[in-house]
């Protein structure tokens, strides 16, 4: 009997010595695809942190795809997806900035931006009805500009708001010259005299 027990013990020792049973370490899967078993897991790269508490290990991943904006396009062309959307300036052009991992959108002056100029016109002694002055030096003027002018009272011209309202002066713009300026014509139905100032704005 003793030789039978000895044979069983020897066989058992050989089986365990050959590593029958689970290999040491833990199983490593990637998206449910088995990669094998490892003894050490090395957390590398930005956005991933590994911590250990007792026999429990925790892997924390930040900045996953779900934290990015969906899609940013420039003139219907999709830009590289980033976690940061950065707007700069005042009319919009967006470009990918790989150096800062952001999409930079620069806004510059466009057709929607308002431009302005103050125009003085001398109505003389009030004997005329329509007076016209040519305004130059206005690089923002285009062939399709919309320009409106309104009178305002200023003590520098010896006028008050009441005087301007009583005069009933009306302004019309015309003769747009691209990149240069326009004509301002003033109608004075009640024979207003002196210098009147008009604030003109346009796009």
- Domain end position, chosen among 51, 84, 107: 107
pLDDT band at residue 50, thresholds of 50, 70 and 90?
Answer: confident
Structure confidence at residue 20 (pLDDT): 53
Does 37 fall in a domain?
Answer: no
Q: What is the pLDDT of residues 5-41, one digit of tens each?
A: 344 444 454 444 455 555 677 777 776 778 788 778 8
Residues 93 and 148 in one domain: no
Structure confidence at residue 77 (pLDDT): 84
- Domain end position, chosen among 79, 107, 135: 107
pLDDT band at residue 90, thresholds of 50, 70 and 90?
Answer: low
Does 166 fall in a domain?
Answer: yes
Average pLDDT on 144-158 reads 84
Residues 176 and 195 in one domain: yes
pTM of the model: 0.45
Residues 153 and 103 in one domain: no
Residues 91 and 129 in one domain: no
Contact partners, residue 54, CB within 8 Å, separation at least 6: none
Computed over every residue of the chain, the mean pLDDT equals: 77
Number of domains in the chain: 2
Residues 133 and 177 in one domain: yes
- The residue that leads in pLDDT, 64 or 46, is 46
Which residue range forms the structural domain that includes residue 83? 70-107
Q: What is the pLDDT of residues 100-130, one digit of tens each?
A: 877 888 776 555 557 889 998 888 876 778 8
Instruction: Give the rounded percent of residues in the chain with a pLDDT score beyond 70.
Output: 79
Residues 90 and 147 in one domain: no
- Domain end position, chosen among 90, 107, 124: 107
Does 16 fall in a domain?
Answer: no
- The residue that leads in pLDDT, 8 or 86, is 86
For residues 135 and 181, give the distance between their C-alpha atoms in angstroms, rounded to a whole number. 5
Residues 83 and 136 in one domain: no
Residues 152 and 97 in one domain: no
Does 29 fall in a domain?
Answer: no
Does 148 fall in a domain?
Answer: yes
Average pLDDT on 75-79 reads 82
pLDDT band at residue 138, thresholds of 50, 70 and 90?
Answer: very high
Residues 129 and 198 in one domain: yes
Contact 94, 109 (CB under 8 A): no
Residues 121 and 171 in one domain: yes
- In 13-114, DSSP assigns E strands to 26-30, 33-38, 48-53, 56-61, 73-74, 77-78, 84-89, 92-97, 102-107
């Amino acid at each position: 009997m003793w030789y039978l027990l000895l044979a069983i013990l020897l066989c058992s020792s050989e089986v365990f010595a050959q590593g029958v049973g689970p290999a040491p370490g833990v199983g490593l899967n990637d998206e449910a695809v088995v990669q094998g078993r490892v003894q050490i897991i090395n957390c590398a790269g930005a956005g991933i942190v590994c911590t250990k508490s007792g026999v429990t290990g925790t892997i924390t991943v930040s900045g996953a795809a779900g934290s990015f904006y969906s899609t940013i396009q420039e003139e219907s062309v999709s830009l590289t997806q980033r976690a940061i959307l950065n707007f700069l300036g005042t009319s919009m052009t967006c470009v990918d900035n790989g150096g800062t991992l952001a999409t930079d959108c620069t806004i510059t002056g466009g057709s929607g931006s308002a431009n302005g100029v103050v125009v003085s016109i001398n109505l003389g002694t009030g004997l005329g009805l329509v007076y016209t002055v040519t305004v130059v030096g206005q690089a923002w003027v285009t062939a399709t500009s919309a320009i409106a002018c309104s009178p305002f009272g200023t003590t520098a011209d010896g006028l008050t708001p009441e005087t301007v309202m009583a005069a009933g002066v009306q302004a019309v713009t015309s003769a747009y010259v691209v990149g240069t300026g326009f004509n301002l014509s003033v109608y004075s139905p009640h024979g207003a005299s002196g210098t009147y100032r008009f604030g003109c704005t346009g796009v």
